Each structure stands twice: as structure tokens, then as C-alpha cells.
């Protein structure tokens, strides 16, 4: 039986950068993050190896965006298991290493304090001042 050749997840994203529009590439990148795709070779490493490759400029724009904030809706039922706790910390560590900040929001907070969450996110993105003291 012949093996089917495949590429790594981030190599696939790297290759797609050559043919997708920036907005489509953002969706692919986002989906990889949502699915918690892990790879030994990161996109920054691929960009370093192939700096002039078609699509590299789009990937740099995507990776070097100044406002890099990831928002995660947390719940105890999903994120309370030992396995998920460990994978969440790994993902957060990788995001921080790649220049992202992670903001965790609970379902209760989303329901009770939506305006405060919006204000906090705007402040995190540099689009506004924080309207309330922490520790409310």
C-alpha cells in the first residue's frame, strides 16, 4: 500500500498563503487556533526558512499585527478537566511566545457584564480607556 504524502498543518497554512486573499488566510489561521493545531515547525520558522516565498508577506502581516489578543470563553465543564487544563496552559504559553495576549471570559461574565468585557477588550486593543477599576 502506498503512503499518501501530506504536509504539516502550518506548512499547509504557509502554502495556502500563496493563493488565498488575506481575509481568507485569516480565517484559516483562526480555524487552526480554534482547533488547537500544534506543529513542530511554526509559521515564524517557515517564514525564516522561505522569506521570499509567494504569500510570505501576507503571513507576516497576519503574524505581526500589533493588536494580538485572543479571547477564550471558559467554562468549568469544558476547561475543568485535568487534560484540558494542561492543554489550555500549553496553548496560552505558545500564544504568549508568539506575541499574543489571552483574555479569559466566563459564561457568567459574558451574560452579566458584557459592556465591561467590551470595554476591557477595547482597552487591551488600545482603542479606549479602561472605564472602571479592577476588582469591581
Question: What digits encode the pLDDT tens for the residues 44-64?
Answer: 888 899 999 999 999 888 877
Parallel, antiparallel or unpaired: strands 101-106 and 69-74 = parallel
Q: How is the chain split into domains, by residue range?
A: 1-65, 67-136
Q: Is the distance from CB of 90 to CB of 79 less than 8 angstroms? A: no
Query: Across the strands, what pairs with 105?
Result: 73
Q: pTM of the predicted model, to two decimals?
A: 0.48
Average pLDDT, the chain: 82
Q: Which of 58, 63, 51 is nearest to 22 (CA)?
A: 58
Residue 30 reports pLDDT greater than 90: no
Distance CA 130, CA 124 (A): 9
Amino acid at each position: 500500500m502506498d503512503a499518501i504524502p501530506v504536509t504539516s498543518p502550518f506548512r499547509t497554512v504557509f502554502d495556502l498563503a500563496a493563493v488565498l486573499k488575506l481575509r481568507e488566510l485569516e480565517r484559516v489561521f483562526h480555524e487552526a487556533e480554534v482547533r488547537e493545531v500544534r506543529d513542530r515547525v511554526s509559521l515564524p520558522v517557515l517564514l525564516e526558512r522561505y522569506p521570499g516565498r509567494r504569500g510570505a508577506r501576507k503571513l507576516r502581516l497576519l503574524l505581526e499585527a500589533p493588536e494580538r489578543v485572543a479571547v477564550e470563553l471558559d467554562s468549568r465543564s469544558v476547561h475543568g478537566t485535568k487534560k484540558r487544563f494542561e492543554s489550555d496552559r500549553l496553548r496560552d504559553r505558545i500564544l504568549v511566545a508568539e506575541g499574543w495576549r489571552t483574555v479569559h471570559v466566563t459564561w457568567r461574565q459574558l451574560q452579566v457584564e458584557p459592556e465591561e468585557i467590551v470595554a476591557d477588550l477595547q482597552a487591551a486593543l488600545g482603542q479606549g480607556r479602561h472605564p472602571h477599576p479592577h476588582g469591581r
